[in-house]
Chains A and B, each alone.
Chain A
Amino acid sequence: MDIFGLGLALIVLFVSFGFVVGVLFGFFGMGGSFLITPTLLILGYPASVAIGSGLAFYFGTSVIAVMKHYDVGQVDYRLGAILFVVLSIGIELGSRLVFGLEALGVANLVTGVAYVVLLAGIGALFLRRAANLDADHGEDGEAVSDEEIPPIARQIQSYTVPPMIGLTSGGRASLWTITGAGGSVGLISGLIGVGGGFIRMPVIYYLIGTPLTAAVGTSLFAGLFAGAYGTFTYGMGGGVDLTVVSLLLVGSALGARIGSAATTAVNEDEVIVYFGFMMLFASVGIALSELGSWLEVGTLDVVSVFLLVGSSFVVASLILYQFGQATRTQYASARQVAKSGE
């Protein structure tokens, strides 16, 4: 049975995978588009459609994130507007590169290899963070103020290459730094179909040098418009599968609410190590898929779907299980208090 041109199994897969991605990223506070594009690649979608649909999914989740956080965080609107322009130029260049690579017949390979490196890198970072958490227990770490600007950013701001742009935090940053940093993030977004929030926010904080609260808000603001532009530019070339994006969003919007609610009951430190392994499994999955295409072994594609989608399901289930346990305990203790009061 086909609905909207997709089989029932694929519809269930997209909605439930969207839900899983929503739970994970509602919990860990990331957009999650970097799991969507590789999954679509493994499922056999052309690179331009996988990337365009990944960006469109990112745009949808950004709209939801902005609605949720509209009253949270400060936004440096001038910086956000400049970033939007340079991010969009980067995305445009990245998309042209993808369509060019597609014409050469190597777009899927290049995107696949980029994802193997990206997901392995993120996985390694999370595992390192998990290891540091263990090492830090019992130590009195110095709290970093949200208003503080990191030393590396102050160092970069000391190179006054005109034109200089005034930031709302009081500092000044060279337009060249903003253009170089924002353009590079946009190029990566356009080239591999990620929203890039996980690189955009650190770039604004560490390279441009705004306080953390302003970096979060400004990243979200610039990312929303850049996501819309990415969707538009890939949409012009027929690179967005609206049915797939819609199904993913239906699942993801629900999952993100549950994942976000779970943060109040589940300790992130206990789950972060599994998230790191999940990213490594996803990276191996894409590598196997590329190997399968090269060797023309279809079985490897099945294994890669299991690794990428399966590991995400396992980690999301773990969060949901712990959330369920915590909610049940809360319910039982409330009943106990009510009974003892009678």
Chain B
Amino acid sequence: MIELSALPPSVQAALLVGVILVQAVVLYVGYGAVERIVTERFSSFTDA
């Protein structure tokens, strides 16, 4: 297993940027899917 703290600071900082980027993308896509489901349910209630 790679010990992160053993990596040079610039590599650690680049990984940090990458982790935040991936997290933001995952959150955007994940919450987007939840929003679609909730909106569809709400629309089916109001359209019924």
Contacts and interface: CB of A to CB of B under 8 A. Distances in A.
B37 interface: no
Contacts of B14: 232
Interface string B14-29: 1011011101110110
A193 B24 CA distance: 19
Contacts of B21: 59-60, 63, 228
Interface residues on A, range: 20 to 34
B40 interface: no
B48 interface: yes
B28 A68 contact: yes
Contact of B25 (A61, A67, A254, A334): A67
Interface in B1-48: 9-10, 12-14, 16-17, 19-21, 23-25, 27-28, 31-32, 35, 42, 45-48
Which residue, of B19, B27, B45, has the highest number of chain A Cβ atoms within 10 A? B27
A236 B45 CA distance: 51
Interface in A24-70: 56, 59-61, 63-64, 67-68
5 contacts: A59-B21, A64-B27, A331-B45, A331-B46, A335-B46
Interface of A: 56, 59-61, 63-64, 67-68, 228, 231-233, 235-238, 240, 242, 245-246, 249-250, 253-254, 257, 261, 327, 330-331, 334-335, 338
Given A56-B20, A59-B20, A236-B10, 4 more contacts: A59-B21, A233-B13, A246-B23, A249-B27
